[in-house]
Structure formats: C-alpha cells, structure tokens
Amino acid sequence: MKKQILLLIILLIILAIVVAGYFIFFNESSDSETIRSLESSEVSEINSLSVCQDIENNWDKRDCYEQVAVDNKDLSICDQMEGNIEGVGESSVKFCYAEVAGVTGDLFICDNEVPQNNIRDQCYWNVAVYKKDFSLCEGFVIVDNYACIIEVAIERKDISECDEFEFNDKKWCIQGVAYGTLDDSYCDLIEPSWSDDIQKCKDNVNSLKNQ
C-alpha cells in the first residue's frame, strides 16, 4: 500500500513538471510570436504598445517597446520603458534611443541624448550604417570600429575601406562584404596567396544563397 501511494506521488510530481513546462514553453513561444508578428506588421503606436503589454517576459516586452519606438521613430516610446517594465532601467532606454537614431540618421541623439560610452558608440554605428558613411565609424570610445566599417561596406557594396586593414583583418573585411552582399566576386579580391580562403569564401557565399 505504501509503495502504491509513493508511486502515485511520483506520478503526480512528474505530471506537475510536464504541465509547468508546457505553460512555460507556451508563454515564451507566445511572447516570441507576438514580437515576430509586431516586426512584420504596420501598426499604430497605440495598438503596438497594447500588444507589448500582453507580453509576460520583461526582456521580450522591452524588445517590443524598442521595436515600436523604431517603427514610429519616436524617442518618447523608449522613455515609457522605465517604470512600465520591471527590471528595465535607463541604459535600456538609451540603447533604444540609439536604435531610433539608426532609422532617423539623427546624430543629435548620439551627441546629446545618450551617455558617452558604448551606447554612444552603438548610436554612431547605427547612424553610420543608415547614412552609409565610413567616417562615422571613427572615434568610438569603447567599441572596436572594425565591424562598423564592414557593415557600412556591405551597405555601400564598397570594399575600399578594407584596404585600411592588413592581413587577416583585410581578408575578413572582404569576406564580410562578400557574405553580406551574397556576391562571390568579392572573394577574388582576397590575396592570391590565400587560394584556400578564396575558395572557402565562394563556397560560403553559395551556401548562404541556398539557405
């Protein structure tokens, strides 16, 4: 009899774990699906923020607010994060500002609305890509400007700035443009002595095309 009771208790515990896991998975999937739906739709500020309020995970809710702010190019939506989302503070608000700057090309935001640290670097990076301006990748305080230059090169389809680098850095810069533009002709600009890397570059571009 005791063994039967013990077995029943174990079965109930297993059932409780399965049910709890289902609800956790369902909620997280639902939150992610809401964000994906939001990113792919044109919705008004009011409706978007209403959708955000239904998201339970605070970090997913933060991402939702940020997406709405970017879609509406509105810093005031970033401001609403603080106080409305538990655990979200000023740094998240300022990163949101940097994302808005990236869709408006407004350097005033970078120079006056965000702290002079990695957030400012990210802000300049976003604007550099928006304006396709290599010069804005210079003068970063903390972040290495290497990735910024590659991303601008991809947007411009221009590898001229890759010549500023040497050896592996130059090769990776060229590869980055080739992968970002899905154009394997850039691979031929890698140093001829690195023939294996040239072929790998072309193979990777073709793989990306087929994804």
SS (H, E, C) 190-202: CCHHHHHHHHHHH
Task: Delimit the domains of the chain by residue range.
Answer: 45-135, 157-211
Range of lowest pLDDT (36-40, 68-72, 157-161, 194-198): 36-40
Exposure class string for 181-199: b at 16+ Cβ within 10 A, else e:
beebebbebbeeeeeebbe
Range of lowest pLDDT (11-25, 67-81, 136-150): 11-25
Mean pLDDT of 34-47: 46
Q: What's the CA angle centered on 187, arms 183 and 190, to 5 degrees?
A: 155
Q: How confident is the model over 42-90, as pLDDT tens digits?
A: 444 445 788 888 888 999 999 999 999 999 999 999 999 988 888 888 9
Range of lowest pLDDT (9-18, 85-94, 99-108): 9-18
pLDDT at residue 37 greater than cutoff 80: no
Q: Given this model, what pLDDT does residue 145 score? A: 86
Q: Given this model, what pLDDT does residue 127 score? A: 96
Q: Rounded to an integer, what distance in angstroms lies between the CA atom of residue 194 and that of residue 184?
A: 15
User: Measuring CA to CA, which residue among 165, 113, 112 is closest to residue 137?
Assistant: 165
The DSSP secondary-structure symbol of 142 reads S
> pLDDT band for position 138 (50/70/90)?
confident
Q: Rounded to an integer, what distance in angstroms lies between the CA atom of residue 110 and that of residue 135?
A: 15
